[in-house]
Amino acid sequence: MKSKIVTISSIAIFSIVLWVFISFSADYSATIKIPVKFHNIPEGYALKNISAEDISLSLKGEGWQLAQLTFGTSHYLDIVIDETAISDEVGVRNSLEQSSWLPSSLQLMMIEPEQINYSLERINYKNVKISERIKLNFKPGYGLVSDITIEPDTIMISGPKSVIQNIDTVYTEKVTVNSLDAEYSQEITLAEIENVTFPFKQVFVKFDVQKIVDKTFENVFVERRGVPPSRDLSLFPERVDVILRGGIKMLGRLDNSSVKLFVNFSQAIEDTLGFLEPQIKIPLFTSLIDIRPKRLDYIIKQY
């Protein structure tokens, strides 16, 4: 019984192989797309314009050869630039005839496009800033408590003058970072710009994330500004409580001196309500929740 199964399996496999061999020996038609690559670009020049970055070829021939082109090694159209030509029109068919990867037994039915135009321009250099494109998603109760720093934050790009003169910023690729609850540091790839060369392709991005909490700063002194020498501005009360929201570690390092409260003498002169509301300056990456009390009584004295 076992030998019969082996015999049947062998016959089945042989039949499949024979069918595949016969099938692929027949003629088929296929369309493939291959990229265009330029070589022998003169020193000090760069590609400015290319009419097509890839070409489509409609081929007819044996299935084996078409399968090798379609699923085998990647191929490309190699265009060798004439060092004396700043711009030129290249015949695709002529370039293909010089390619060793395209078998002569295959019939070339169609080429799209038939011609490729290109132009060169002298290379220029420009130093530009680098900016990130990061979307941050935090865990509940967490938030950003620092700037997003990029190292390095500038880059010397090179390319055709007409191209790089309009570039002021190189951006990173778009990245989404989820479930953030701690300091983050990671290398991120720069987004490519056509016909522009970068001396490096990755930058280091860093920022801090902390649990967000509230902290009360008690008895913060309210400064009086712009009071003339012959006048005095008395506030009631002259100290207030300030509630800030921010990162737990950041708030832990702050004290009353980190919070600046003040009123300007001009506020009192222009007041029509009978009270003053202090202005406030708070540290970066904190937010004001409340000032208690918000309204201050006052008396202007003259000497």
- Say if 86 falls within a structural domain: yes
Q: Which of 210, 242, 263 is the last residue of a domain?
A: 210
Q: Which residues pair with 253 in a beta bridge?
A: none
Contact between 242 and 254 under an 8 Å Cβ cutoff? The reply is no
Report if residue 6 sits inside a domain. Answer: no
Asked whether 80 and 88 are in contact (CB, 8 A), the reply is: no
Maximum average pLDDT range among 33-42, 104-113, 169-178: 169-178
Q: Are residues 114 and 131 in the same domain?
A: no
The answer on pLDDT for 13 being more than 70 is: no
Using DSSP's 3-state secondary structure scheme, residue 94 falls into helix
- Of 115, 49, 117, 41, the closest CA to residue 84 belongs to 41
Q: For residues 113 and 129, state if they share a domain.
A: no
Tokens of 95: 């370039």
Sheet holding 77-80, edge to edge: 77-80, 27-39, 54-62, 107-112
Burial class (CB in 10 A: 0-12, 13-18, 19+), 229: exposed
Region 213-230: mean pLDDT is 96
pLDDT digits (tens, 9 = 90+) for 86-117: 667 777 777 777 776 677 667 677 888 888 88
Mean pLDDT within 13-29: 50
Considering the domain architecture, whether residues 243 and 291 belong to the same structural domain is answered as yes
Structural domain includes residue 9: no
Q: What are phi and psi for residue 52, nearest 5 degrees?
A: -155, 135
Give me the count of residues in the chain: 303
Give the mean pLDDT of 113-129. Answer: 88
- Structural domain for 202, as ranges: 123-210
Task: CATH number of the domain at 93, please.
Answer: 2.170.120.30
Query: Could you tell me if 244 and 291 lie in one domain?
Result: yes
Do 172 and 223 belong together in one domain?
no
Domain count, the chain: 3
pTM of the predicted protein model: 0.69
Instruction: List residues bridging with 207 in a β-sheet.
Output: 184
> Which of 176, 210, 244 is the last residue in one of the domains?
210
Q: Phi and psi at residue 98, in whole multiples of 5°?
A: -90, 0
Let me know if residue 12 belongs to a domain. no
- Segment holding 289, helix H or strand E: strand 287-292
Q: Which residues is 146 bridged to in the sheet?
A: none
pLDDT value for 49: 79
pLDDT higher than threshold 70 for residue 65: no
CA distance 236 to 238: 5
Tokens 């690559």, located at residue: 37
101 occurs within a structural domain? yes
For 252-288, the pLDDT digits (tens) are 999 999 999 999 999 999 999 999 999 999 999 999 9
Are 266 and 226 in contact by the 8 Å Cβ rule? The answer is yes
Q: Is residue 16 part of a domain?
A: no
Give exposure, 30-58, as e/b (b: 16+ Cβ within 10 Å): beeebebebeeeeeebbbbeeebeebebe
45-50 and 115-131 beta bridge pairing: antiparallel
Whether the pLDDT of residue 18 is over 50: the answer is no
Same-domain check for residues 238 and 169:
no
Q: Which residue has the higher pLDDT, 15 or 281?
A: 281
Q: Is the pLDDT of residue 12 over 70?
A: no
Considering the domain architecture, whether residues 140 and 193 belong to the same structural domain is answered as yes
Do 166 and 152 have their domain in common? yes
Task: Give the chain's mean pLDDT.
Answer: 85
pLDDT at 211 over 90: yes
- Cα distance between residue 89 and residue 110, in whole Å: 19
Q: Could you tell me if residue 291 is inside a domain?
A: yes
Q: What is the pLDDT of residue 66?
A: 67
Residue 226 region, left (φ>0) first, then alpha (ψ -120 to 50), else beta?
A: left
Q: What pLDDT shows up at residue 23?
A: 47
Cβ atoms of 220 and 266 within 8 Å: the answer is no
Same domain, 151 and 202: yes
Q: From CA 280, how far away is CA 243, in angstroms rounded? A: 12
User: Residue 202: which CATH number?
Assistant: 2.170.120.40
Residues 181 and 137 in one domain: yes
- Do 127 and 115 fall into the same domain? no
Q: What is the pLDDT of residue 96?
A: 73
Q: Decide which of 121, 136, 151 is a domain's last residue.
A: 121
> Between residues 4 and 265, which one has the greater pLDDT?
265
